[in-house]
Amino acid sequence: MPNPEDRGAVGVTRNGLDTMAERLARHLAGRSSRRSALARLGGWAAAIPAFPLLPVWRRDARAAAPAAPSPFAAKAQAKDDTKCDYWRYCAIDGNLCTTCGGGVHSCPPGTHPSPTSWIGTCFNPQDRRAYLIAYRDCCGQDACNEQNCLGTDGDLPTYRPQANNDIIWCFGTGSLLYNCSTAVIVGTAE
Amino acid sequence: MLADRRSRVARRISRSLAVASVLTAIAAHGPAHAAEPILQTEESDIVTLPPGGPHRVLVEDGVYRHSKDGRVYVVDLDTGRLLGMVQAAYNANMVADPAGKAFYVAETTWERGNRGKRHDILAAYDPRTLEQVADIDLPGRALITPKKPDMAIGADGHYVYVYDSSPTNAVHVYDTGLKSVVRTVDVPGCGLIFPWGNAGFSSICGDGSLANVQMDAKGAPTLTRTPPFFVPDRDPVFEHSPEVAASGHVWFISYSGLIYETTLGAQSSVAKPWSIQEAAGLKAASDTRAPFEVTWRPGGWQLAALRARDSHLFVLMHKGTFWTHKDAGSELWELDLKTHRLVRRIPLAARSMMVGVTQDAQSRIMLTDEAGDLMVLDGADGKPVRKIGALGDALIFTAAPGE
């Protein structure tokens, strides 16, 4: 039999959370009008149409799902992000941050993510959807040089910089020394 | 008993012989050693290279494993010897003066190694002493895994061009006489530098057209545009398409293997493309519209080299689908650019990302492999001449005299 005292203790905590949530809701309601909520919604609505203007490999976007749209996608796997054939690495060029002390969307300690990147379109064999992947470089230390991969799906020459993986995408960081690359999901390409 | 005595005698004889041979040795070498002069004391000095021939080449090593430490090697293909090297830090580029008077390295460093103030530098080197004859700060340069056409030199060696992409696409024009950057030319929406004449260059634009820049006597630029001649989303042309800079002749090679012969100038003209595969008796390769088709395709980094004297093109080829444009070549195809015919297919012992060729009558072909070796083949028949083992780390492009 559970001790009623204990249950009471849990109940007190719940009540505390409820109270906090209520206070937060009242606080927000008191400080924001319906108009400002609408304005915020409008802001998002305005931002959404701008999103497709990002550099995207459109052809692939159209060809997405259910069949793998490219030779890389046809052989890609969705289990091990430290291997070159991981689905998000369809157009990556360089050292995998997952093998350099970072993660698939995390920079290793001592490095900094670039706010800029180029965006590729990769096909996930697990849910058979195409996703927009931002290849953000981690910068500030020299090449980490663990697992190096070269994915070339949709990779165009530097006269099409938005679709090129040879450019050092470290703009906006302290130094433009390249350490490793992440592959961040920034949306679906459907 | 008899056997024991015999063995004792034999031992005594052998001992006497050993003593005799030592005495003979002392007699023979002792006096001669005493007569040999004592080695002289030495001064430290520096080698000055003799004037180079057609087989003295520059090889850029991107050292991808720690790309802050790139370098340019000076190599003698006849002896297989490294003659010297210069630093070429972080995604550097290099060009050689067409007359061999100097070579130039554009590089990037930070004052405190990996941090601090950034310096984009253009250094000019004497090709025999490898001493800097100029060393200036550039307004900037594009940081891109090095591609040969991110830097170029005019036919008479007066202007050196350095590509920049930040904040906008532009070309810095360095005057080798004044030893300073005299102008920055904007090439909006375009990239790379393919020089023509003494004061002109063209860039490839994102829509598949060319921007042609001609500078007048004062260096003032005039920009013209050609109509698009290829569709970048469908079948882009390689950045490392080979050129004869003196004549402004470029053979743009597309990912699928089409060759667009182009004469650069203020009004650049592009001929109808032809297919490498068709020249070899195969079907033309597919573009992005049929990406799964497996066939022979061009690929690599410096994937093609041109021998101007007989208009022969050497292209690294591999079997693969579309989007394998950076795969190393398993064969080298030699093509005649005048007749659009295949001369020979040269199977490679190791896959190569790079091919270069010297321009002389006894030309040499340069290849590399994953180990950073430089393989030298005979340009006449593609037969191996020598391997320069572990020359570097990531050999990415070459510059041969007169190319």
CATH number at residue A167: 2.60.30.10
Calpha distance B294→B322 (Å, rounded): 8
Q: Same structural domain for residues A78 and A38?
A: no
Per-position DSSP letters for A5-58, written without gaps between them:
HHHHHHHHHHHHHHHHHHHHHHHHHHH--HHHHHHHHHHHHHHHHHGGGS---H
Residue A118 has what pLDDT?
85
B117 to chain A nearest CA, in Å? 9
Higher pLDDT, B374 or A175: B374
Residues A101 and A183 placed together within one structural domain of the fold: yes
Are the beta carbons of B232 and A145 separated by less than 8 Å?
Answer: no
Q: Do A157 and B239 touch (CB under 8 A)?
A: yes
Token pair for B276: 């490498």
CB contact under 8 A, B165 and A167: yes
pLDDT digits over A135-170, tens only?
Answer: 999 999 999 999 999 999 999 999 999 899 999 999
Could you give the CA distance from residue B173 to residue B151 in angstroms, rounded to a whole number?
Answer: 10
Q: How far, in Å, CA of A171 to CA of A178, rounded?
A: 10
Model pTM score: 0.83
The C-alpha atoms of residue B403 and residue B313 are separated, in whole angstroms, by 13
For residue B18, the model assigns a pLDDT of: 53
Binding-site annotation, residues of A for substrate? 93, 165-167
Query: Domain total for chain A?
Result: 2
pLDDT given at position B245: 85
Q: Kindly report the nearest CA distance between residue B365 and chain A, in angstroms.
A: 26
Domain enclosing residue A113, as ranges: 54-188
pLDDT 10s digits, B330-349: 999 999 999 999 999 999 99
- Same-domain check for residues A121 and A182: yes
User: What integer is the mean pLDDT of A61-77?
Assistant: 78
Q: Using CA atoms, how far apart are residues B259 and B274, in angstroms rounded to an integer?
A: 5
**ipTM attached to this prediction:** 0.89
What are the extents of the domains in chain B?
A: 89-228
Instruction: Report the residue of chain A nearest B167, measured CA to CA.
Output: A171
Residues pairing with B183 in the sheet? B173
Are both A87 and A107 inside the same structural domain? Answer: yes
Q: Which residues pair with B286 in a beta bridge?
A: none
Cα dist. B290→A74, B164, B202, B242, B383 in Å? 14, 34, 31, 27, 36
Q: Assess whether A135 and A94 both reside in one domain.
A: yes
Domain co-membership, A74 together with A36: no
Count Cα neighbours of A183 within 13 Å in the Cβ-side half-sphere.
31
* Whole-number average pLDDT of chain A: 76
Q: Do B238 and A157 touch (CB under 8 A)?
A: yes
Mutation target among B67, B231, B327 for the A interface, most CBs of A within 10 A? B67
Contact call for residues B221 and B187 (beta carbons, < 8 A): no
Distance, CA of B148 to CA of A100 (rounded, Å): 30
For chain B, say whether A177 makes contact (Cβ under 8 Å).
yes
Instruction: Report the CATH fold assignment for B89-228.
Output: Methylamine Dehydrogenase; Chain H (2.130.10)
Q: Catalytic pick from A57, A87, A118, A169?
A: A118
> Is B119 strand, coil or helix?
strand
Distance from CA of A87 to the nearest CA of B (A): 15
Q: Is the CB of residue A175 less than 8 Å away from at least one CB of chain B? A: yes
Residues 311-370 of B with CB under 8 A from A: 321-326
pLDDT at A27 over 50: no
- Look at residue A9 and tell me whether its pLDDT is greater than 90: no
Beta bridge partners, B94, equal B105
Amino acid at A28: L
Confidence of residue A73 (pLDDT cuts 50, 70, 90): very high
Question: CA B309 → CA B250, B337, B359, distances in Å?
Answer: 15, 11, 7
Assess whether A146 and A78 both reside in one domain. yes
User: Do A89 and A150 fall into the same domain?
Assistant: yes
pLDDT tens, residue by residue, A88-125: 999 999 999 999 999 999 999 999 999 988 889 999 99
Contact B91 A168 (CB under 8 A): yes
B40 lies within 8 A of chain A by CB? no
The rounded distance, in Å, linking the Cα atoms of B160 and B122 is 10
Collapsed DSSP state (helix, strand, coil) of residue B68: helix
- Specify the pLDDT at position A35: 39
Report the C-alpha gap between B96 and B403 in whole angstroms: 9
Q: Is A137 one of the catalytic residues?
A: yes
Single out the residue of A90, A132, A136 nearest to residue A117, CA to CA.
A136
Q: Are residues A91 and A129 in the same domain?
A: yes
- Partners of residue B356 on adjacent β-strands: B366
Half-sphere exposure of A102 (CA within 13 A, CB side): 27
B331 vs B367: CA distance, rounded Å: 11
The pLDDT of residue A29: 43
Q: Give contacts of A175 with chain B, Cβ < 8 Å.
A: 110, 114-116, 118
Identify whether the C-beta of residue B92 lies closer than 8 Å to the C-beta of residue B60. yes
Q: Is the peptide bond before B167 cis (omega within 30 degrees of 0)?
A: yes
Question: What residues contact residue A10 under an 8 Å CB cut-off, 6+ apart?
Answer: none
Give A171's contacts in chain B (Cβ within 8 Å). 166
Q: Are B99 and B119 in contact (CB under 8 A)?
A: no
Q: What is the distance between the terminal CA atoms of chain B, rounded to a whole angstrom?
A: 87
Chain B contact for A153 (CB, 8 A cutoff): yes
Instruction: Tell me if residue B385 falls in helix, strand or coil.
Output: strand
In the structure, what pLDDT confidence band is assigned to residue A75 with cuts at 50, 70 and 90?
Answer: very high
The confidence score (pLDDT) of residue A172 equals 84
Strand partners, A94: A149
Intervals of chain B under pLDDT 70: 1-34
Would you place residue A65 in the very low, low, confident or very high pLDDT band (cuts 50, 70, 90)? Answer: very low
Contact with chain B for residue A71, Cβ under 8 A: yes
Catalytic site residue from A81, A137, A153, A155 = A137
Task: Say if CB B358 and CB B376 are below 8 A apart.
Answer: no
Is A27 found in the same domain as A92? no
Residues in CB range of A121: below 8 A, 6 or more apart: A56, A57, A60, A61, A64, A90, A130, A131, A132, A133, A153, A154, A189
